[in-house]
């Protein structure tokens, strides 16, 4: 029986699912969060509600855990670095520093010789005027974006004249004519071995993930290329844990990295039911240095995200034996908020 206590920063649905996977492996969890009612509270062995800059609580957290991981990337980097000085934080905070900053992230990927969308860093209006070829494009805040927050579509120069207040740094990305979106989830262990899941095909609505499915409808070449690129990215980051790379497939079958998630990922929820080992269990095994289990698919699957008020209908539904409903039990329903998901196993 393992005697490890794992600290998890963040208490959303990803944290909940990590706690449940840890339970199965007899790993104790201490969740630290600035959301008093975070869903992971229901599944953690211990829950610390705190502001992330409250030194007393951070110190208590550090004292009682053996190793630390996180469920979202927008954690103040100095806090991660402080914790890492006393208890190992995995994935390493340096990785988070790159990935929580779109400019550094895209530069890192491009430097590996891997394509992204065409992009430029934007501090002021002139930076857009000097990069007209990137229109129509999407202006994204350089940091702190998620689920489409902090994104603005710029169709033409007229849009630039609107009231953009350049109070934050942005990047401007050329809008891609999307043929498909794909994500690849892998788990990299402390000895450098990597276990992989097959590419997952994703459909977004209003910049939020709506559906994911396996198998992805892609050819062998694209399958191999996105798997190889994901492994290369993980190796070059010396990554430990489960991570995801989101890809765009454009009209010419170019495969472009959209972004790297240094954590378990929404598109991987179907791994809970469709594989012998979920992305969450893989993550716990890797960061706690337990032995690797190679994922084996038991079924094809589709996952549907349940947003906002949709959850009310799902709660009343009955499901067949190939359908798995997950209610995140969030205290408050908010429009477009991820409230739960449904996985349907398919032939």
- Rounded distance, CA 214 to CA 275, Å? 11
Closer CB to ligand ADP, 38 or 145, in the complex: 145
> Does residue 12 interact with ligand ADP by CB under 6 A?
no
Nearest to 301 by CA among 338, 340, 261, 342: 342
Give Cα separations from 73 to 76, 133, 180, 290 (angstroms): 9, 31, 25, 24
Q: What element of type H or E holds 278?
A: none
Closer CB to ligand ADP, 151 or 289, in the complex: 151
Closest distance of CB 300 from ligand ADP, Å? 22
Closer CB to ligand ADP, 71 or 181, in the complex: 181
Closest distance of CB 204 from ligand ADP, Å? 4
> Does residue 250 interact with ligand ADP by CB under 6 A?
no
Nearest to 108 by CA among 208, 238, 16, 218: 238
Among 178, 194, 292, 345, binds ligand ADP (CB under 6 A): 178
Nearest to 280 by CA among 269, 296, 292: 269
Choices 9-17, 126-134, 153-161, 175-183; region in contact with ligand ADP by CB under 6 A:
175-183
> Does residue 225 interact with ligand ADP by CB under 6 A?
no
Cβ atoms of residues 282 and 217 within 8 Å:
no
Cβ atoms of residues 24 and 1 within 8 Å:
no
Closest distance of CB 241 from ligand ADP, Å? 19
Phi, psi of 273 (to 5 degrees): -105, -20
Closer CB to ligand ADP, 48 or 139, in the complex: 139
- Rounded distance, CA 147 to CA 309, Å? 17
Among 88, 97, 204, 231, binds ligand ADP (CB under 6 A): 204
Closer CB to ligand ADP, 190 or 207, in the complex: 207
Binding to ligand ADP, residues 110-169 (CB under 6 A): 117, 138, 140, 145-148
> Does residue 246 interact with ligand ADP by CB under 6 A?
yes
Closer CB to ligand ADP, 176 or 301, in the complex: 176
Strands (E), the chain: 5-9, 28-33, 46-49, 67-70, 119-122, 137-141, 151-154, 170-174, 178-188, 194-196, 200-205, 208-214, 241-250, 255-261, 300-307, 323-327, 338-346
| Residues contacting ligand ADP: total by CB under 6 A | 17
Closer CB to ligand ADP, 110 or 322, in the complex: 110
> Does residue 266 interact with ligand ADP by CB under 6 A?
no
Among 82, 131, 207, 254, binds ligand ADP (CB under 6 A): 207
* List of residues contacting ligand ADP (CB under 6 A): 117, 138, 140, 145-148, 173, 175-176, 178, 181, 204, 207, 246, 258-259
């Amino acid at each position: 029986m393992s005697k490890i206590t794992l600290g998890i920063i963040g208490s959303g649905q990803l944290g909940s699912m990590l706690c449940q996977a840890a339970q199965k492996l007899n790993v104790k969890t201490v969740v630290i969060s600035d959301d008093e009612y975070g869903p992971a509270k229901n599944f953690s062995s211990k829950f610390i509600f705190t502001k992330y800059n409250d030194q007393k609580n951070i110190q208590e957290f550090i004292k009682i855990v053996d190793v630390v991981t996180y469920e979202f990337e927008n954690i103040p980097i100095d806090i991660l670095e402080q914790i890492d000085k006393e208890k190992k934080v995995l994935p390493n905070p340096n990785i988070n520093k790159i990935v929580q900053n779109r400019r550094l992230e895209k530069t890192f990927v491009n430097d590996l010789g891997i394509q992204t969308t065409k992009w430029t860093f934007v501090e002021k209006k002139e930076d857009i005027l000097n990069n007209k070829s990137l229109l129509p494009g999407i202006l994204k805040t350089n940091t702190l974006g998620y689920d489409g927050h902090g994104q603005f579509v710029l169709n033409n120069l007229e849009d630039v004249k609107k009231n953009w207040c350049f109070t934050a740094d942005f990047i401007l990305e050329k809008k891609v004519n999307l043929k498909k979106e794909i994500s690849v989830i892998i788990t990299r262990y402390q000895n450098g071995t990597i276990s992989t899941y097959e590419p997952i095909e994703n459909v977004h609505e209003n910049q939020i993930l709506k559906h994911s499915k396996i198998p992805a409808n892609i050819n062998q070449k694209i399958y191999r290329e996105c798997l190889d690129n994901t492994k290369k990215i993980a190796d070059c980051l010396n990554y430990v844990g489960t991570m995801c790379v989101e890809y765009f497939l454009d009209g010419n079958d170019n495969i472009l990295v959209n972004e790297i998630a240094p954590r378990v990922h929404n598109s991987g929820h179907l791994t809970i039911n469709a594989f012998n080992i979920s992305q969450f269990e893989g993550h716990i095994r890797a960061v706690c240095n337990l032995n690797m289990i190679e994922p084996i698919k038991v079924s094809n699957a589709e996952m549907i995200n349940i947003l906002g008020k949709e959850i009310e209908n799902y709660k009343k539904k009955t499901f067949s034996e190939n359908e798995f409903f997950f209610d995140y039990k969030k205290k408050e329903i908010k429009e477009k908020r991820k409230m739960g998901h449904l996985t349907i196993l398919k032939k």
